[in-house]
Amino acid sequence: MSDSETAAAALRADPDYRVLQRLDAALIPMAAPGDTVRRAVFLDTESTGTDPIRDEAVELSMIAFDYDPARGTVQAVHEAEAFSRLRDPGRPIPAEATRVNNITDEMVAGRTIADAEVEAFLEGVGLVVAHSASFDRPMVEKTWPVFRDLNWACSIEDVGWKDRGYASNSLEYLLMKQGFFFEGHRAKIDCLAGIALLASTLPTGEPVLAELLASARKTRTLVRAVNSPFETKDLLKARGYRWDNENRVWWTLTEDLDAEQAWLSDSVYDGRLPPLPLVPIRASNRFSVRTA
């Protein structure tokens, strides 16, 4: 071993130290091939701001990976064929966005990302994973329609980080807990970090990807508490409902529609549940503005 490897091994053996290693694709643990192999991509964007509807993508990156859908294990990472392109948003990039992603107007001037090249990269892909799919899916769907036809999952929403006591769900923090560090805030390295996270294991020994896939396969129902009395807002918020300011309604996703409607009837509508708009949510439309 090199001197640095010897020193790292000694520190790892000492309970008073933790060692972080720079993330590299070669360090991502790969599982043995299973009976079934499917192709997914991890996607990340950099943008002009934090509003996925009003802001625009200035960088789109995707890295494909193969996985076993039964065991939930990563089998191969295709970093060498990664898709990473810059895009001119058609307006100046705000200084605060450049401070985060280091992408300037000069870097993107005149650059485009054609539908055809995105579609070609996604051929054979059945699942898109992002670390904040509620941001990234609306951001890319409005520019490249091919993303509307794919199943999506989120490495934040589909994994119970908070329930397991993790202090943060940021990608940098979660990878640090796995023993890696990386310089984030550019889309390509964030994609590689995301795949490394999926290939890691939870404290239970279960692959992170397995939990993500199990969650993504569930059918949920979008429930809007229309015309809910103002005085019930704290009850709704405490139950996990979110406020949709544009449509002026509290909403939630539930896996148990009967129980949710019973609670609404008893706690919000004084025993007289009105007809509520209900939308089935699956991986095909979850995180999309089409369900808003």
Condensed to tens digits (0 to 9), the pLDDT of residues 37-83 reads 999 999 999 999 999 999 999 999 999 999 999 999 999 999 999 99
Q: Name the DSSP class of 151.
A: E
Looking at residue 291, its pLDDT comes to 66
Looking at residue 218, its pLDDT comes to 97
- Homologous superfamily of the 3-216 domain (CATH): Ribonuclease H-like superfamily/Ribonuclease H (3.30.420.10)
CB-based contact 248:194 (threshold 8 Å): no
237-243 CB contacts, 8 Å cutoff, 24+ apart: 239/263
The predicted model gives 191-216 an average pLDDT of 97
- pLDDT tens, position by position, 80-105: 999 999 999 999 999 999 999 999 99
**Is the predicted pLDDT of residue 198 greater than 60, yes or no?**
yes
Looking at residue 145, its pLDDT comes to 96
**Is the predicted pLDDT of residue 5 greater than 90, yes or no?**
no
Looking at residue 68, its pLDDT comes to 96
Looking at residue 175, its pLDDT comes to 96
Looking at residue 292, its pLDDT comes to 54
Distances (CA, A) of 83 to 11, 17, 46, 86, 189: 37, 37, 14, 10, 11
Residue type, 76: A
Q: Minimal CA–CA distance to 105: which of 119, 93, 94, 114?
A: 93
- pLDDT tens, position by position, 207-263: 999 999 999 999 999 999 999 999 999 999 999 999 999 899 999 999 999 999 999
At 183, is the pLDDT very low, low, confident or very high (cuts 50, 70, 90)? confident
- pLDDT tens, position by position, 260-274: 999 999 999 999 999
**Is the predicted pLDDT of residue 290 greater than 90, yes or no?**
no
Give the E-state strand segments of 126-228 in sequence order: 127-130, 151-154, 180-181, 220-225
With H, G, I as helix, E, B as strand and everything else as coil, classify residue 216. Answer: helix
Looking at residue 289, its pLDDT comes to 83
Among 72-76, 148-152, 183-187, name the one with the lowest average pLDDT. 183-187
Q: Minimal CA–CA distance to 269: which of 226, 237, 239?
A: 226
* Token pair for 157: 């929403």
**Is the predicted pLDDT of residue 140 greater than 90, yes or no?**
yes
The proportion of the chain whose per-residue pLDDT surpasses 90, expressed as a percent, equals: 90
Spans of all domains in the chain: 3-216, 220-291
Q: 206-245 burial by CB neighbour count: b if 16+ within 10 A, else e?
A: ebbbbbbbebbeeebbbbbbeebeeebeebbeebebeeee
Looking at residue 28, its pLDDT comes to 95
Return d(Cα 102, Cα 189) in angstroms, integer.
14
The predicted model gives 191-218 an average pLDDT of 97
